[in-house]
Amino acid sequence: MIRARCLAIAAACMVAALSVASAKAAPPSVEVMPFELIEIVAPGGPLVFGTNPCPFTITVHHQGTFVATTFFDQDGTPIRQLVRSEGFTETYSANGRSLTTKSIAPVTVTIDPTSGGFIFSGSGNQRHVTVSGVGLVLAQAGHQVTDGEGNLISFTGLNIPAGSDFCSALSA
């Protein structure tokens, strides 16, 4: 899921960068991009910073808007991008049940000038899924760094991976 979101942000970065790459020493540009992605995660498949622990498939629906501000050097070359989400939700569903969370964490995208690749650095509340009477069943908040492929480089902060309580909340 992290990989899908990072790849979506990377694609948005490339679109924003290409649309103004020919500009001369431009001020920052801002682009608003609606986003929607549906992922099907099989048991054992990648889910957030872990794997799907449930004995059933989970559907993850990401929906919202990314607002990307691209910054340029004096030659007009994109050097970094700040991407924040507006009204961004993640809904986890299975067996006729669903759990939804809002993601409000901003992400800074740094463009590596030597490789052209992306490094994603996010801080804040990425997700908090709470089940009444149980508490948090999935949560990430803090600071995470991933590469352009969605591979986790580092993470500090709260990390509650999906577990048995998460699966129980989605069980029929």
- Which residue do the tokens 């990425």 mark? 126
Domain count along the chain: 1
How do strand 135-147 and strand 118-131 relate by DSSP bridges?
antiparallel
pTM (predicted TM-score): 0.76
Amino acid letter, residue 15: V
Count of alpha carbons within 13 angstroms of residue 42, beta-carbon side? 0
- Which residue do the tokens 């030659």 mark? 75
For residues 15 and 11, give the distance between their C-alpha atoms in angstroms, rounded to a whole number.
6
Q: What is the extent of the structural domain holding 114?
A: 2-169
172 residues of the chain, pLDDT tens digit each: 555 555 455 555 554 444 444 445 689 999 999 999 999 999 999 998 789 999 999 999 999 998 989 998 888 888 888 888 888 899 999 999 999 999 888 888 777 666 778 888 888 888 999 999 999 999 999 998 888 777 888 999 999 999 999 999 999 6
